[in-house]
């Protein structure tokens, strides 16, 4: 099966010239944010949004709360966006977050965590932990106390999710999870910080996410002196996965992170973790921002959202 046409076109556009990762960082971030605005799913009329600034001690973090207006959700998900820990934020993922809240009938709380290189490893992980604990402390105020509360993310956000939910961060962070997540949602996650899987080389060029861009992200996020600790926290290296929460996992065929994602699913299943796995044979990394002009991509996005409905129905 071939890559969906709309995704193939955006992959080609992304690789015009020297490559986005060679652009000034400010420009790279602006272009990445623009993908969702130009090609993404857009805001849903049946979803309300609320922006807040939350106090997590020495700093404040932004969160955006998405609520479906015509449903009473059983699930709430704290969401960490992708972008290699270097790019991305509310603008880059607004369409996808709005779509999930609408199509999956869930509350979604997106977190605007700090980015590298300004805040390298483990800064974003600390923000994720602090945001999670803040939401748990304020669940009644937010009106989500009666829902199952989990966490999720795509790409680097999937890494952040898995490191926190599987608690592989050891003593690197200040504090612990106040409550374990009821579930985790991992969308083509970055689960192996060593960067040695075969798919990284097989899909190295020509797609939205390339090996060169992955190297740029990794070098920006991981200071050399912290690299051993970062690799050690890789979720795929977790020796005891038995305490991993119920997992909703999505992998894409045309993806540098494909092999580590598939290997991670195997390890979770071997550990008898409850895993719902959707492999998309015609999608690439970053497809969540390409649905506007692609009916085939919109169909895949609906399949992703349907995973939550199925999960909630089986509760």
Domain chopping of the chain, boundaries: 5-313
Residue 112: phi and psi, rounded to 5, are -95, 75
Which entry of 36, 127, 255, 259 is annotated as an active-site residue?
A: 255
- Give yes or no: 138 in active site: no
- 185 pairs with which residues across the strands? 152, 248
- Give yes or no: 81 in active site: no
67 burial class (0-12, 13-18, 19+ CB within 10 angstroms)? buried
The DSSP-derived string for 158-172 is HHHHHHHHTTTTTTS
Per-residue pLDDT of the chain (315 residues; tens, 9 = 90+): 799 999 999 999 889 888 889 999 999 999 999 999 999 999 999 999 999 999 998 899 999 999 999 889 999 999 999 999 999 999 999 999 999 999 999 999 999 999 999 999 999 999 999 999 999 999 999 999 999 999 999 999 999 999 999 999 989 999 999 999 999 999 999 999 988 889 999 999 999 999 999 999 999 999 999 999 888 999 999 999 989 999 999 999 999 999 999 999 999 999 999 999 999 999 999 999 999 999 999 999 999 999 999 999 988
Q: Using alpha carbons, list the distances in angstroms from residue 19 to 16, 283, 309.
A: 6, 21, 38
Cβ neighbors of 43 (< 8 A, separation 6 or more) are: 49, 94, 95, 98
Q: Which two tokens stand for residue 103?
A: 């199509």
Whole-number pLDDT of residue 173: 96
Distance CA(282)–CA(124), nearest Å, equals 31
Closest listed residue to residue 56, CA positions, set 137, 157, 115: 137
Pick the CATH number of 5-313 from 2.40.10.220, 3.40.50.1820, 3.40.250.10, 3.40.50.720: 3.40.50.1820
Which entry of 155, 197, 234, 294 is annotated as an active-site residue?
A: 155
- Give yes or no: 155 in active site: yes
Whole-number pLDDT of residue 195: 80
Tell me if 33 sits within 8 A of 92, measured CB to CB.
yes
Sign of CA dihedral 61, 113, 240, 150: positive
Closest listed residue to residue 239, CA positions, set 218, 260, 270, 262: 270
Q: Using alpha carbons, list the distances in angstroms from residue 231 to 169, 218, 221.
A: 11, 11, 12
Three-state DSSP class for residue 270 = helix
Q: What digits encode the pLDDT tens for the residues 51-67?
A: 999 999 889 999 999 99
Which entry of 36, 277, 285, 294 is annotated as an active-site residue?
A: 285
Tell me if 159 sits within 8 A of 235, measured CB to CB.
yes
Give the ranges where 184-245 is alpha helix by DSSP (H): 198-202, 211-221, 227-232
Place of tokens 């790409």: 155
Task: List, in sequence order, every beta strand (DSSP E) within the chain.
Answer: 47-55, 60-68, 75-80, 107-112, 148-154, 183-187, 246-254, 275-284
Distance linking the first and last C-alpha atoms of the chain: 34
Distance CA(124)–CA(146), nearest Å, equals 28
């Amino acid at each position: 099966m071939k890559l969906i046409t709309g995704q193939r076109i955006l992959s080609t556009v992304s690789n015009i010239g020297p490559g986005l990762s060679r652009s000034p960082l400010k420009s790279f971030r602006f272009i990445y944010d623009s993908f969702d605005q130009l090609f993404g799913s857009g805001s849903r009329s049946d979803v309300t949004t609320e922006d807040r600034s939350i106090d997590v001690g020495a700093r404040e973090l932004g969160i955006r709360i998405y609520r479906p207006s015509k449903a009473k959700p059983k699930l709430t998900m704290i969401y960490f966006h992708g972008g290699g820990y270097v790019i991305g934020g509310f603008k880059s993922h607004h369409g996808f977050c709005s779509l999930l809240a609408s199509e999956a009938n869930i509350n979604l709380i997106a977190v605007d965590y700090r980015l590298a290189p300004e805040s390298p490893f483990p800064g974003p992980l600390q923000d994720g932990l602090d945001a999670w604990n803040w939401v748990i402390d304020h669940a009644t105020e937010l009106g989500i106390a009666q829902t199952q509360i989990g966490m999720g993310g795509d790409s680097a956000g999937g890494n952040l999710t898995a490191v926190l939910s599987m608690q592989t961060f050891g003593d690197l962070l200040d504090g612990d999870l106040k409550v374990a997540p009821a579930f985790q949602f991992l969308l083509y996650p970055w689960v192996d910080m060593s960067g040695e899987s075969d798919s990284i080389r097989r899909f190295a060029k020509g797609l939205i996410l390339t090996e060169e861009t992955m190297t740029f992200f990794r070098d920006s996020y991981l200071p050399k002196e912290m690299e051993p600790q970062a690799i050690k926290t890789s979720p795929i290296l977790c020796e005891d996965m038995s305490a991993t929460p119920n997992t909703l996992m999505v992998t894409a065929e045309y993806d540098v992170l494909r092999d580590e994602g598939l290997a991670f699913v195997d390890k979770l299943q071997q550990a008898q973790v409850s895993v719902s796995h959707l492999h998309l044979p015609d999608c690439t990394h970053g497809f969540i921002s390409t649905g506007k002009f692609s009916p085939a991509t919109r169909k895949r996005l609906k399949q992703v959202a349907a995973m939550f409905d199925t999960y909630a129905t089986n509760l």
